[in-house]
Amino acid sequence: MTTTYDSRKRILVTGGAGFLGSHLCDRLLEQGHEVLCLDNLFTGSKRNIEHLLGNTRFEFLRHDVTFPLYVEVDEIYNLACPASPVHYQHDPIQTTKTSVHGAINMLGLAKRLKCKILQASTSEVYGDPAIHPQREEYWGNVNPIGIRSCYDEGKRCAETLFFDYHRQIGLQIKVARIFNTYGPRMHPSDGRVVSNFVTQALTGGPITIFGDGTQTRSFCYVDDLIDGIIKLMNSEDDVTGPVNLGNPVEFSMNELANTVLRLTGVETSIDYKPLPDDDPKQRRPDITLAKNVLGWNPQIQLEEGLHSTVCYFQELLRTG
């Protein structure tokens, strides 16, 4: 895709120094747009965007979305929020504020600018699902007072705000429900299963599995996910979402651990521990809607994506 000067947009990416945000900044710059990357660096890292700092179409702004922001942009991608249990449970009150106050502030900015805004929501809005796979019309099975509630309910409230702004004032919104995503630039200590398994294997293990390893997850490679997010933002005005974005192919934790061990060439043990509270037993998206309205379907197989991820973590551990 080639962007001419007349079609170039100035795009705000909140959480732009994070795992997903930095890849989104890369892609938008590749398309010829100007990018304003906003991040308070709580979980994001300048390392993720340092290769962009010399680009004249890229600007980094250190800012917390819980405070109002006054900038001029043409589109907003709201990705700001800790997304792993280790990080969002560290300060659960701030996590809820980031989801709710952050949504209010970004929606207010979009209202003033009369611009389109995309919310990065999450599969966590489904909680521990009573149906499988999960479709967008499913309302979820969420514990409102559990240790994961700051993230789950914060994201659910953000979705409510987005749709109320859409219904009440006609704001142009897009809501993506993102399922497990992995790839280079994941935080090595974020507590997510892929980064856990890879770093544990590369540092000598053992690999820790919570539960008996039969619980399943679906894993979407970051490049596929970014494709989906951009397709959703650029979709027809009447496509508001929510739209599931994720890979519908399920793998058990045991299968994932064995694949990581094979790709790293490490021989180590697997340590089984009790399952944490409110941890869902299975999670898989139904992506029929994304296929139909976006023409989107993930292309990268788990082994190919894990190979790139392992290489990234090997280099990260080597260089510090």
**Cα-based angle 152, 183, 282 (whole degrees, multiple of 5):** 45
State yes or no: is 151 an active-site residue: yes
Q: Given 77, 88, 126, 151, which residue is catalytic?
A: 151
66 contacts 2 by C-beta, under 8 angstroms: no
Quote the CA–CA distance of 83 and 303 in Å, as a whole number.
24
- What is 164-192 written as a DSSP string? HHHHHH---EEEEEE--EE-TT--TTS--
Q: List the structure tokens of 87.
A: 């990080």
Report which of 233, 253, 110 is spatially closest to residue 175, judged by C-alpha positions.
233
Quote the CA–CA distance of 216 and 128 in Å, as a whole number.
12
Q: CB neighbours (10 Å) of residue 41? A: 13
**Cα-based angle 161, 166, 171 (whole degrees, multiple of 5):** 115
Q: Catalytic positions, please?
A: 151
